[in-house]
Homo-oligomer: A and B are copies of this chain.
Amino acid sequence: MAKLLTGKEVSSAIWENLMPRIDRLRAAGVAPTLAIVRVGERPDDLSYERTATKRADTLGIAVRRFELPADATQAQLEEVVDVVNTDEAIHGCLLFRPLPVAMDERAVCDRLAPEKDIDGIGSASLAGVFAATGEGFPPATARACLETLDFYGIPVAGKRVVVLGRSLVIGRPVAMMLLARHATVTLAHSRTEDAAAHTREADIVVCATGRARAFGPEYFVPGQTVLDVGINFDDDGNLCGDVDFDAVEPLLGPEGAITPVPRGLGGVTTSVTMAHVVQTAEAGQR
């Protein structure tokens, strides 16, 4: 049995750190506030909105919802982003993507003020994670991977990491964050020949392709740490990760470790989002 890197304990540690900070902010008259901007009513977005709102409520973070119809124009959305940017009572913004294809998504993302860009979608945040400029925030999912490794005491420096998937939401940013922590990082993807040959050599494997149970036992060896970022549904409608958990988990052995799906990184991501809101609220006090 591999060690299960469940998210609950990681989130609890984040909350324990956040609670007194939120109390101090409220005592100083600042209500940490998250804006959620949603275009249309995609079930995925609504689901994450519910989760985030519930988490925010528990922590005492206020939520302001900005809802636009699916046929909203870019100008309408930019107007909302401008409101978020200028309202000093808002400390962070989740903007659900993808945006409607008619919109220039990059322009909208770049319009969001970097200090409120708590999910790292704007160019300033992207440069921040690539070049450690200190601007903006890394994508919450990428930071959730690091928080989980740190919480469970899994060393990163000098280790071999293979990241499967090169998206801007997770693959590339998490690779840069691990590199900054002195890991030797390989970025593999759909065009990689024999990805399993790479992953079997790794100490840590980050699976972030969004393909249900795509990575079976042939990708892993005993003793590895596996972070499964995938949140997929299989053909029967069951929630599952990118890893074929049932086949892989026993193979990793007692020295191995794996994040389950569900009960893994998803919840940590939400907690990291809240931490970013609090961070900006605190910065606004200085």
Contact = CB atoms under 8 A, between A and B. Distances in A.
A106 B191 CA distance: 35
A72 interface: no
Contacts of A168: 131
Contacts of A172: 130-131, 176, 179
Contacts of A175: 187
Given A123-B124, A172-B130, A185 B187 contact: yes
Contacts of A45: none
Interface in A111-130: 123-124, 126-130
Interface string A166-205: 1010001001100100101111110111010010000000
A58 interface: no
Categorize the interface residue count of chain A. 20 to 34
Contacts of A176: 130, 172
Given A129-B130, A130-B131, 7 more contacts: A123-B123, A127-B130, A172-B176, A184-B189, A184-B195, A185-B186, A186-B187
Interface of A: 106, 110, 123-124, 126-131, 133-135, 157-158, 166, 168, 172, 175-176, 179, 182, 184-189, 191-193, 195, 198
24 contacts: A106-B133, A106-B134, A110-B133, A123-B123, A123-B127, A123-B131, A123-B133, A124-B127, A130-B131, A130-B176, A158-B191, A158-B192, A172-B176, A175-B187, A179-B187, A184-B186, A184-B187, A184-B188, A184-B193, A184-B195, A184-B198, A185-B186, A185-B187, A186-B186
